[in-house]
Chains A and B, each alone.
Chain A
Amino acid sequence: DIVLTQSPVLAVSLGQRATISCRASQSVSISSINLMHWYQQKPGQQPKLLIYRASNLASGIPARFSGSGSGTDFTLTIDPVQADDIAAYYCQQSRESPPTFGGGTKLELK
């Protein structure tokens, strides 16, 4: 299975930029298609799709969220961070079955 590694915690100040990284144990890209996706999960809620295929904003997601990366290294950026963004963030790959998730990064306030 493809293993996705995320830092467990990221502390950020409101109004600043948050950069959340995800590293895959092998490439999750096919040609120019990057099969990495990002979710936000608040306590007691289901995950919500933020970004699909590395850089595409899901429907209804604010433009302060963006994604980038290719191959094995991917980044979710939140700029500027708002209070409502305090949550856990998960990456997920679909390059190989089974689809796997990173361990999650908990975004905290400094």
Chain B
Amino acid sequence: QVQLKESGPGLVQPSQTLSLTCTVSGLSLTSNSVSWIRQPPGKGLEWMGVIWSNGGTDYNSAIKSRLSISRDTSKSQVFLKMNSLQTEDTAMYFCARMDYSGDYFDYWGQGVMVTVSS
């Protein structure tokens, strides 16, 4: 069955770079698109960006200058890198598969909590 699992450091210092990995199983990244979505504690969901099945990417303009999403199809992994972290980047970070039309998110990872603090 389809599974996604996020991994990465739980604590990042302000101004540093966040690196997260989403490892997928039960699907091929060459025919599926994966998004990153984050949720600050007690708040709503924010779409960050997507890596499409063809390898192209799209980012939320609000954070585009700080964000990079890439993948390693041979390892079934999607990567997120975001620089210049601030305390407001403290959040649960989820990766999620987008349906084939790119409309909705039908499979989600359990999420990884990232705290930005010195």
Q: Does B88 have its Cβ within 8 Å of any Cβ on chain A?
A: no
B45 to A97, Cβ gap below 8 A? Answer: no
- Number of A residues whose C-beta is below 8 Å from B? 22
CA–CA, A29 and B45, complex, Å: 22
Minimal beta-carbon separation of B58 from chain A (angstroms): 6
**Using a CB-CB cutoff of 8 Å, which residues 81-118 of chain B contact chain A?**
94, 96, 99, 102-106, 108-111
Query: Given A97-B58, A98-B60, A98-B61: A47 and B104 within 8 A (CB)?
Result: no
Minimal beta-carbon separation of A105 from chain B (angstroms): 11
CA–CA, A100 and B61, complex, Å: 12
Chain A residues with CB under 8 A of B96: 46
CA–CA, A92 and B96, complex, Å: 14
Chain A residues with CB under 8 A of B61: 98
Summarize A's interface: helix, strand, loop or mixed: loop
A46 to B108, Cβ gap below 8 A? Answer: yes
Partner of B103, one of A37, A45, A47, A103: A37
A49 to B47, Cβ gap below 8 A? Answer: no
CA–CA, A73 and B103, complex, Å: 18
Q: Does B46 have its Cβ within 8 Å of any Cβ on chain A?
A: yes
Partner of B47, one of A35, A39, A98, A104: A98
B103 to A49, Cβ gap below 8 A? Answer: no
Chain B residues with CB under 8 A of A99: 35, 47
Chain A residues with CB under 8 A of B56: none
Minimal beta-carbon separation of B6 from chain A (angstroms): 10
Mark contacts of A27-71 with chain B using CB atoms, 8 A cut-off: 1 yes-contact digit, 0 otherwise.
000000001010100000111110011000010000000000000
User: A: which residues have CB within 8 A of B?
Assistant: 35, 37, 39, 45-49, 52-53, 58, 90, 92, 94, 97-104
User: B: which residues have CB within 8 A of A?
Assistant: 35, 44-47, 58, 60-61, 94, 96, 99, 102-106, 108-111
Given A90-B44, A99-B47, 9 other A-B residues pairs in contact with their CB atoms under 8 A: A46-B96, A46-B111, A53-B103, A53-B104, A58-B106, A92-B105, A98-B61, A99-B35, A103-B44
Between A and B, 25 residue pairs with Cβ closer than 8 Å are A35-B103, A39-B105, A46-B96, A46-B111, A47-B45, A49-B104, A49-B105, A49-B106, A52-B99, A52-B103, A52-B104, A53-B103, A53-B104, A58-B106, A90-B44, A90-B45, A92-B104, A92-B105, A94-B102, A94-B103, A94-B104, A97-B58, A98-B61, A99-B35, A101-B45
